[in-house]
Amino acid sequence: MPEGPLYEPDIQTLPREQLLAVQEERLRDSVARAFEIPFWRRKMESAGLGPDDVKTREDLLRVPRTNKDELRASQAEHPPFGDYMRREEAVRVGTTTGTTGTPSLILWTKRDLETEHRAAARMYWRQGVRPGLLVAHSHPLGAYGGGAMMSSSLEAFGCTVLAVGSPATDEHAEQIVKLFDLVRPDMYIMFDAALLRLWEAAERLGLDPQKDLKMRMRAPHPSMQGGTASAGAECFAYMGGACAKFNGAHLCEDLAVVECVDPISGHPVPEGQRGHLVVTTLERDNMMLRYDLEDLVTLDSSLCECGETSARLTWQGRAKDVTRVGNLSLLPIDVWWVLEDFPTLKMPTIEFVIVRSKSDDMLHVRVEGEGVSQDEIKQRLTEKLGIPAKVEVLPRGALGRSGFKPVRVVDEP
């Protein structure tokens, strides 16, 4: 077991220049192997690229991006797995969540899993997870790949894992809480939405979630979106995690090339600006080359005080959640930062939704809470974001509860 705050200090503190040299060496290997897979071979050849033409990060910009629709199309044309993954040597099949459409299938070889487990171990170690602890997680189970990946990565790390699945209903949440009461996990890993649902279920059962179950409600805060970096179950689930400085998620740059690009040109945007997350995986049999997740992120490669040398990523939101008001392109996190000004709204979490209006050019926000007037919130939103706003304050619980990721943007019917 390592001593100190890092799981793999040799690679995590490698001088940046050397880290990028390791990355480019592995990139050459991934690109050469991609030519053995029909989908990627076509992609490269369509840009006039041969197996030796991508040697550096700069060269990589010549590779066309790939998005989720292309993967779906490949699976439709070459059922069931498509022609961008190899069936040979695969040891696991899973699906994507399907939150953005029909779920796609994912295959992992032993090496693919080992790469994920290695990245996950760095993240768990930073978060204070240690081998031997009994850890409960509530990632969705079933065919969805994310739950199985969380279980296997924690097992590979050496934890005792209790996987309960996502609480689907209040009754289900209560069953899970009863199990927690019996087993008494040392730690819980779950999304805020799941934690909230289980927390409320524990209270209904007369339990004190904190004292009786050792559950901890970390007050969710917009800065937490920088806590972890993921490129999805289909690409690289455990791409990075934040250090104690909590200034973005340190990326595993020895295991992936991560870009933040202009959605139109595909070229990198200046650091600190929002752009599309584009990921090329390394050290995997089923690789992705310049996979565009259509997520908006920011990157920072300045040296972090913690001593880790990798760049840090902050997830800003999904491109499909962009709300345009006037000349502004807003994401839920922009509204969240403003709502943080009102302490009575966060008991225990700020629950809000942006309603994309078809009838006027204003920001519409529905928020749960009390002790604050619609006008106060409206004024603050207008003052801080510089756009007209409409606000509805609703009773707690009115927006519904998701056991997974909360819905923050809906379209006006």
Q: Note the residues at the interface with Zn ion (CB under 5 A).
A: 243, 245, 304, 306, 308
User: Of the two residues 88 and 305, which places its CB atom closer to Zn ion in the complex?
Assistant: 305
Phi, psi of 21 (to 5 degrees): -70, -40
Q: How far is the CB of 314 from Zn ion (least distance, A)?
A: 13
DSSP one-letter code for 406: P
Q: How far is the CB of 205 from Zn ion (least distance, A)?
A: 39
| Bridge-based pairing state of the strands 328-330 and 323-325 | antiparallel
Q: How far is the CB of 397 from Zn ion (least distance, A)?
A: 38
Q: How far is the CB of 242 from Zn ion (least distance, A)?
A: 7
Q: How far is the CB of 15 from Zn ion (least distance, A)?
A: 15
DSSP one-letter code for 269: P
Amino acid (1-letter code) at residue 164: V
User: Of the two residues 70 and 300, which places its CB atom closer to Zn ion in the complex?
Assistant: 300
Q: How far is the CB of 57 from Zn ion (least distance, A)?
A: 22
User: Of the two residues 12 and 115, which places its CB atom closer to Zn ion in the complex?
Assistant: 12
Q: How far is the CB of 59 from Zn ion (least distance, A)?
A: 29
User: What is d(CA 176, CA 198) in angstroms, rounded to the nearest whole number?
Assistant: 8
Contacts 24+ apart (CB under 8 A), 94-98: 94/143, 94/144, 94/145, 94/146, 94/148, 94/149, 94/233, 95/143, 95/144, 95/145, 96/144, 96/145, 96/232, 96/233, 96/234, 97/140, 97/144, 97/146, 97/233, 97/404
User: What is d(CA 113, CA 52) in angstroms, rounded to the nearest whole number?
Assistant: 27
User: Of the two residues 74 and 309, which places its CB atom closer to Zn ion in the complex?
Assistant: 309
User: Of the two residues 195 and 251, which places its CB atom closer to Zn ion in the complex?
Assistant: 251
User: What is d(CA 71, CA 402) in angstroms, rounded to the nearest whole number?
Assistant: 27
User: Of the two residues 60 and 258, which places its CB atom closer to Zn ion in the complex?
Assistant: 258
User: Of the two residues 12 and 30, which places its CB atom closer to Zn ion in the complex?
Assistant: 12
Rounded to the nearest 10°, the torsion over CA 105, 70, 413, 335 is 90
Question: How far is CA 283 from each of CA 17, 84, 95, 111, 258, rounded to the nearest angstrom?
Answer: 19, 16, 21, 8, 14
